[in-house]
Amino acid sequence: MKIKNRLSIQFTGIVAIILALIFFVIYWITETNRKLDFYARLKDRALTVAEIFLAQDNLTKEKFREVQKNYPLRLPDEIVRLYDSLNRSVFTRDTSKHWPDPVIQRVRKDKYLEYKEGARQDVGIYYIDNSGNFVVLASAVDNYGYLRQRELLLALAAIFLVTVVILFFAGRVFAEIALRPIIRVNQEVSNIQASSLSQRVDEGNGRDEISALAINFNSLLSRLQEAFQIQSSFVTNASHELRTPVTSIIGEIEVTLSKSREPGEYVKSLQTILPEAERLKEITDYLLELAQVNFSMGLLNTTPLRIDEVLWDLRQEWLKKFPRADLEFHLDRLPEQENALLVTGNRQLLEIALGNIIRNAFKFSNDQTVTCSLRVDADSVAVMVRDQGIGMSREDLNHIFQPFYRGGNARTYSGYGIGLSLAERIIHLHHGKIRVCSELGKGSEF
């Protein structure tokens, strides 16, 4: 079901329920007022009849019936009875309506009684007179009131049905008007293909939810476009980096196998192949690490870690591998509370990220001193790695975290441009940020 139809039905249903409740209350109030009004009229009728006939002691029974019949305030299907202290009907011999003794006794006890019998309404009063105490019971049918109630019910039903129909079609119109921006956005989105990610949908006035949806979608498109560009660059560079050693290895093997050679020549050929195979293995390892980080996004096994211990273990491991490396650690500004040093993360991945940054610092500074310091604030932990190397240009700073990207002044150094990309992904995976300050010829700080 389309949204506009669903909205129309829901809107119509809600209003119909509210309207039905209002109409029910109106009908209930008018019916209650009708009953109360008719009971009041019956009571007045009973009092009037009692006053007229009990005050006229000399009236005969026949005269009483004649006066009662011609009385101008007579109600529809009216029956009035007066009962003496012995529950005998007086002033009439008509037995078409006779109230039972329990009803008469209840009137004497409660002094007033009103109740309903089918369509008829009955009222009883206890009337005290100088000639005795009497019970007056009056009964009638409110034909005119019932007629008005039926007319009111039919009018309310007709109004309800007409209103519901009008509301449904009006709701469709307003729903279509309200959804028109979404339809427009949907049409614009359907025109966006993988080859046209630079397109953007109209963000409208920027003040309603649809504009917010368009803004978020455009933001998503920007991230997708960036991801596609990075992927394209990654595939191009990865293909080039992998193709070069593979081509060298295949070429060397083909040349070696083209004719029989001395054992020494085979050894020389294998010595030529080995560096290319090692290069190929190194590139493959980097690519596997990148894939592992992407895979670990949803399956990251994290624990609370003390960042100073991670840095110290990293220093010990680094000095073990490269004893001559001058790696200075500044951990003298540590907080008094040990909990301030705790971060939640994956130790192995954090060591890979920090290790890659430190490795680059040594490589591009030609093994000069590298400084690693730690700063702890109230709500953050910062690790700073500074070198005295070749630095980077502003243009290179915008691309250094892209896989396989290498700055213009870094191409003479060994490497494949994957380490920083891997480090940046790991830092972001841990909800951290990585910033770089660098100047050509004066070093860099991560």
Tens-digit pLDDT profile for residues 421-432: 888 888 888 889
More confident residue, 196 or 281: 281
pLDDT at 402 over 70: yes
> Which pLDDT score, from 0 to 100, does residue 94 have?
58
> Which pLDDT score, from 0 to 100, does residue 234 have?
60
More confident residue, 333 or 296: 333
- C-alpha distance from residue 197 to each of 188, 194, 217 (Å): 12, 6, 11
pLDDT at 70 over 70: no
Amino acid at 21: L
Cβ contact 438:392 at 8 Å: yes
Q: Annotate 375-421 with three-state secondary structure.
A: EECCCCEEEEEECCCCCCCHHHHCCCCCCCCCCHHHCCCCCCCCHHH
Mean pLDDT of 177-200: 73
Non-local CB neighbours of 180 within 8 Å, separated by 6+ positions: none
More confident residue, 203 or 354: 354
313-322 as b/e, with b when 16 or more CB fall inside 10 Å?
Answer: ebbeebeeee
Mean pLDDT of 402-421: 78
Mean pLDDT of 98-123: 89
pLDDT at 68 over 60: no
Amino acid at 174: F
- C-alpha distance from residue 58 to each of 55, 68, 131, 346 (Å): 9, 16, 12, 115
pLDDT in tens, 5-33: 788 888 888 999 999 999 999 999 999 99
Give the Cα-Cα-Cα angle 271, 275, 404 (nearest 5 degrees): 165
pLDDT in tens, 146-181: 999 999 999 999 999 999 999 888 888 888 777 777
pLDDT at 266 over 90: no
Cβ contact 422:428 at 8 Å: no
Strands 303-306 and 327-330: unpaired
> Which pLDDT score, from 0 to 100, does residue 30 have?
93
DSSP 244-267: HHHHHHHHHHHHHHTS---HHHHH
Structure tokens at 156: 């309310």
DSSP 140-207: EE-HHHHHHHHHHHHHHHHHHHHHHHHHHHHHHHHHHHHHHHHHHHHHHHHT--GGGTT-----TTSS
pLDDT in tens, 111-128: 999 998 888 899 999 988
- The residue written with tokens 């029974």 in the block is 61
State the pTM of this model.
Answer: 0.48
Non-local CB neighbours of 341 within 8 Å, separated by 6+ positions: 306, 307, 308, 334, 335, 376, 381
Q: In what order do the strands lie in the sheet with 132-141?
A: 89-90, 79-83, 132-141, 120-129, 112-117
Residue 259 pLDDT grade (very low, low, confident, very high; cuts 50, 70, 90): confident
pLDDT in tens, 309-358: 888 888 888 777 777 778 888 876 677 777 788 888 888 788 888 888 88
Neighbour count for residue 389 (Cβ, 10 Å):
24
pLDDT at 230 over 70: no
> Which pLDDT score, from 0 to 100, does residue 89 have?
81
Question: How far is 153 from 150, CA to CA, in rounded Å?
Answer: 5
The overall average pLDDT reported for the chain is 80
Strands 327-330 and 370-376: parallel
Question: How far is 132 from 87, CA to CA, in rounded Å?
Answer: 12
